[in-house]
Amino acid sequence: MPLISQIRGRTVANKRGSVLGTVADVLFHPSEPEVIGLAVQPPATLYVIERAQRFIPLTEVTLDEDGTGFVYSGSRLPSFENGTKAIGHDWETTVIWRGMPVRSADGDAVGAVKDARVRIADGSVRTLEVSTGAVGDLALGTLTIQREQIVGFDGESVVLTVGYRDAEKSGGLARSTAGGVAAASVRGQQVAKQAYDAGMKAAIKVGRSFKHGTGRRMLDKLRELTDDSDEE
């Protein structure tokens, strides 16, 4: 079961072995803790002209024999419209979890998504790695969230059943310091809040770009560029 950071950049080929592109992003369900599709970047035309991304459902890809790339069931990448239809959601309603703020169901800040381990067969998130920022991770450790502790995405944050204090922590210099457990917990909650706020600011910035037109114009341009001769 790969991490989403390991999925990005992997090659996508068809069953004949022809390379169709590389994974640009991993697309999550609008609310559920599961991956539903991949954004694929096709090779540049004549190795120079960059082409628009395509979107394929995770249900139509499998790992190749080496486990280093993906095999897509179609012979060619789908058009923008066909790809989003196959995924079952408009691509702008899907979510890219990396960097998203993470909170408990009670509203307490936990941090921001650093990575997630996904089962390719069904797209389910098996574990979630939550960061409290570079300094916090080094001093206090990252948080490992289990499948049963992940509620999903509420439109703003990834929501958990647990808060910072109850999450499983790994690594961290402060945790090994004698008598420093209580102080580390307090400090951990502080840096978790900072990481959460940073993730929220980034998410809001992206959301506003779509709401106020910049992102919408980018989306319209993207759709214009999807009329390529190799579409299905």
Residue 141: is its pLDDT beyond 70?
no
pLDDT of 166-215, one tens digit each? Answer: 776 655 444 444 444 444 444 445 555 666 666 555 554 444 333 334 44
Residue 59 in 3-state DSSP? helix
pLDDT at 152: 93
Note the pLDDT of residue 207.
Answer: 43
Model confidence pLDDT, tens digit, residues 72-127: 998 999 888 888 888 888 777 888 888 888 888 988 888 888 899 999 989 999 99
For residue 116, list its beta bridge partners.
128
Fold held by 4-96 = SH3 type barrels. (2.30.30)
Instruction: Write out the two tokens for 13.
Output: 């080929």
The larger pLDDT score, comparing residue 50 to residue 222, is at 50
Contacts of 216 (CB under 8 A, 6+ apart): 210
For 32-81, the pLDDT digits (tens) are 999 999 989 888 765 566 677 889 999 999 988 887 899 999 899 988 88
Question: What is residue 123's predicted lDDT score, i.e. its pLDDT?
Answer: 92
Residue ranges, comma separated, of all CATH 2.30.30.240 domains in the chain are 4-96
Q: Which pTM was predicted?
A: 0.73
CA distance readout (Å), 183 to 84, 174, 194 = 48, 9, 17
State residue 57's pLDDT score: 92
Distance CA 62, CA 46 (A): 28
CA angle 106, 103, 204 (to 5 degrees): 120
Q: How far apart are CA 172 and CA 134, in angstroms?
A: 11
Q: What's the mean pLDDT in 215-230?
A: 45
